Amino acid sequence: MGADAHTEHAGASSEPSVTHEEHRNELWWSKVREYGQEFFSEFFGTMVLILFGDGVVAQVVLSNGTKGDYQSISWGWGLGVMLGIYVAGKTGGHLNPAVTLSNCIYRGHPWRKFPVYALAQILGAMAGAFIVYGNYRFAIDQFEGGSGIRTVGLETSTAGIFCTYPADFMDTTAQWWSEFLSSAILQFIVYALIDKNSMAAGPLFPLAMFFVIFGIGACFGWQTGYAINLARDFGPRLVSYILGYGHEVWSAGNYYFWVLEFEADCLYIPMVAPFFGCAFGGFLYDVFIYTGESPINTPYMGLQRFFKPKRSVWSNTYKSFESQV
């Protein structure tokens, strides 16, 4: 009888788990979430980045500096990156198409995932910008001088809340170099922070990134606004255009958004310079410091990959961080 009771009890205790499993399988959203986990992680991580980044700019600008200053903006963006990385911990928190591209080049991140990550990052940035605008809409009306007035390049303009605009004295070469340099610094330090062979690497990667972004903003951000991220600049810039800021969001700063003009051609500074900068920063780190698996640490510095392509075996750049979240 005791055995029967034990068996009956065991059966009863196992029934809820079976029922839960059946219910879980029936939940279509669970399947969607599982399939789109990386997309959602990058989407919401980048959204959080913009919420804090654009949010702090809005507060400083709209309060005429009474509720913060330039250093407040650097702190806010640093917080946004740190918290965004925590939110996007499932993917390691790229939050930046240029970082994702560098991971594809140097750390074996699957190339097929690059467009998925980039799209998620841009859409997440747009969502964050829309939310910030909704929160500060009436303050923007008051600052601009009336309901629905939206301007670019004036003393009372608020377009700079959402995306970057260069200082008036910057020519296109200087604009390009500023974004390239900041992006290279970013990627170089990122790889140092996640290098498992480095004594400086550790579980405090998100916190360290807080100080990295704060430092870039405090030391190199004034001239161009340190976009260093296509998603961070293009997504909110598109949102500002949708919200009525006009064509000037594209043409301001001698078409800074897509300048470095060579006759009829042009290179897009906030869109392209970060890719070159991050790729160069990753290259420098792998050439001079990194001893792990990287195309740089193969014959001909990985160039043979283009002649004898094979499936990548390198681990995810942020595996060391992913194992902790």
Where residue 268 sits, what CATH number does that domain have?
A: 1.20.1080.10
Residues 125 and 94: their CA atoms lie apart, in Å, by 13
Instruction: List the chain pLDDT tens, one digit each, 325 residues.
Output: 444 444 444 444 445 555 555 565 668 888 888 889 999 999 999 999 999 999 999 999 999 999 999 999 999 999 999 999 999 999 999 999 999 999 999 999 999 999 999 999 999 999 999 999 999 999 999 999 999 999 999 999 999 999 999 998 988 889 899 999 999 999 999 999 999 988 777 789 999 999 999 999 999 999 999 999 999 999 999 999 999 999 899 888 776 765 444 433 344 678 889 999 999 999 999 999 999 999 999 887 766 655 665 554 444 444 444 444 4
By three-state DSSP, how is residue 265 classified? strand
> Residue 261 phi/psi, 5° resolution?
-85, 135
> Residue 266 phi/psi, 5° resolution?
-155, 155
Name 253's Cβ contacts closer than 8 Å, sequence gap at least 6: 165, 166, 170, 175, 259
Total number of domains constituting the chain: 1
For 211, the token pair is 């100080």
In a domain, 32, yes or no: no
Residue 266 β-bridge partners: 261
Name 95's Cβ contacts closer than 8 Å, sequence gap at least 6: 42, 45, 46, 49, 81, 84, 85, 88, 121, 229, 231
Structural domain harbouring 78: 38-315
In a domain, 11, yes or no: no
In a domain, 13, yes or no: no
Residues 245 and 148: their CA atoms lie apart, in Å, by 10
Task: Report the predicted TM-score, pTM, of the whole model to 2 decimal places.
Answer: 0.84
DSSP H stretches of helix in the chain: 2-26, 28-35, 37-62, 70-87, 97-106, 114-144, 172-193, 205-220, 230-240, 248-255, 269-288, 319-322
Residue-level pLDDT at 318: 47
In a domain, 307, yes or no: yes
The CA–CA distances, whole Å, from 283 to 11, 34, 40, 43, 162 equal 59, 34, 29, 27, 31
In a domain, 162, yes or no: yes
In a domain, 14, yes or no: no
In a domain, 82, yes or no: yes
In a domain, 186, yes or no: yes
DSSP H stretches of helix in 90-246: 97-106, 114-144, 172-193, 205-220, 230-240
